Amino acid sequence: MGAASPDIGLYIHIPFCARKCRYCDFVSWPGMEDAWEPYINAVIKELEQKSEMARQRRVVSIFLGGGTPSLLPGSAIQRIMEAARKHYSLLPDTETTIEANPGTLDHDRLRAYREAGINRLSIGLQAWQNHLLEFMGRIHKASEFDEAVFMAQDHGFSNINADIIFGIPYQTMEDWLETISRVLSCQIPHVSCYSLTVEEGTRFGKLKQEGIWPEPDEDLEREMYRAAIDVFGEAGFEQYEISNMAKPHYRCRHNMNYWLRGEYLGFGVAAHSFFNQARFANTPDLRLYMESVERGNAALSEYYYISNEEALSESMILGLRLTEGIDLDELSSVYRTDVRKKYGKKLADLAERELVELNGSVVRLTKRGMDFANQVFVEFI
């Protein structure tokens, strides 16, 4: 079942960072300044190469993620955006986000972003306490977040997100509430709250493997999550997805497109795409990516077609992430199958366990379901 909408998102991956954070398993590398220029050239070439696919489509969102895109000079971002504008149909109000690290933003970059048509910033604060930032291997100090936000606001950016993390070892509830209150004092309209996960292959993963990972308290971690929803809620933020909260009209369109199973094209090393009922990904090998694009070839390492059955399963899992839930009747007409009947027993069991609630034809996670979302999702795989 394909998306009927002509709207798509573009994701552009910038895989360079000043230093590798200890919890990070994203495809990103510290240093490698020599690769920046050829990489940007490759991304620009890939934007041109894939443009034929999207000839009839409108680009409603662009997300420059990483890595640390704000590490690159503003002129590099301008070149990427020029290529996007040249080869794709952007709207006057295409939501265009760049991820930034507080330690890397300055006036020149912000000016260049404005000129390039970037209208949203996503800034990784993570925590307000310098000892926690240091523990996680972040390059910046907490105060640089405030400075970055105020500087961005002076340059006319009003649509700003902060990423913050809870469930960090040694993080207390007071620390967490202080982080939340600092974010609120910056008057920004969007926040993403993530629970720290320990991934294999990271520095933290190694500590876990060696049995010396200081496991944080699980109950405290859940209390922090609920506290964030409550405190941001009182301040006028609406929780619209498990980890995301926004003031009215400031939901992230790019991510909403993912959760609603809209189509998107990814550019750059390891970038994923979902287009014409297929999911595909570029190689995570930087050299191979650049060589393939240079030769005019697709840099793909994975490609799979999504069956109708898989598409429905994805719609359930992604849609349940949204607090407004899923309209099962709507889904039934999209997939031409009786979804209520198909999942009736599973949904009844989940409702019995107080993980989901059914209201007419709409199913959504309960508060308890938000805490144990993976137990719900696994039912629809």
Give the footprint of ligand SF4 on this chain (CB under 6 A).
17, 20-21, 24, 26, 28, 66-68, 101
Quote the least distance from Cβ 24 to ligand SF4, whole Å.
Answer: 3
Q: Which is nearer to ligand SF4, 142 or 355 (CB)?
A: 142
Q: Which is nearer to ligand SF4, 8 or 24 (CB)?
A: 24
Q: Which is nearer to ligand SF4, 13 or 57 (CB)?
A: 13
Q: Which is nearer to ligand SF4, 25 or 291 (CB)?
A: 25
Quote the least distance from Cβ 287 to ligand SF4, whole Å.
Answer: 20
Quote the least distance from Cβ 139 to ligand SF4, whole Å.
Answer: 7
Q: Which is nearer to ligand SF4, 101 or 161 (CB)?
A: 101
Quote the least distance from Cβ 2 to ligand SF4, whole Å.
Answer: 32
Task: Report, in angstroms and rounded to the nearest whole number, the Rg of the chain calculated over CA atoms.
Answer: 21
Quote the least distance from Cβ 75 to ligand SF4, whole Å.
Answer: 21
Q: Which is nearer to ligand SF4, 67 or 216 (CB)?
A: 67
Quote the least distance from Cβ 74 to ligand SF4, whole Å.
Answer: 18
Mutual angle of helices 74-87 and 107-115, in 10-degree steps: 10
Quote the least distance from Cβ 77 to ligand SF4, whole Å.
Answer: 16
SS3 per residue for the chain: CCCCCCEEEEEEEECEECCCCCCCCCCCEECCHHHHHHHHHHHHHHHHHHHHHHCCCEEEEEEEEECCHHHCCHHHHHHHHHHHHHHCEEEEEEEEEEEECHHHCCHHHHHHHHHCCCCEEEEEEECCCHHHHHHHCCCCCCHHHHHHHHHHHHCCCCCEEEEEEECCCCCCHHHHHHHHHHHHHCCCCEEEEEECCCCCCCHHHHHHHCCCCCCCCHHHHHHHHHHHHHHHHHCCCEEEECCEEECCCCCCHHHHHHHCCCEEEEECCCCEEEECCEEEEECCCHHHHHHHHHCCCCCEEEEEECCHHHHHHHHHHHHCCECCCEEHHHHHHHHCCCHHHHHHHHHHHHHHCCCEEEECCEEEECHHHHHCHHHHHHHHC
Q: Which is nearer to ligand SF4, 28 or 96 (CB)?
A: 28
Q: Which is nearer to ligand SF4, 57 or 109 (CB)?
A: 109
Quote the least distance from Cβ 126 to ligand SF4, whole Å.
Answer: 8
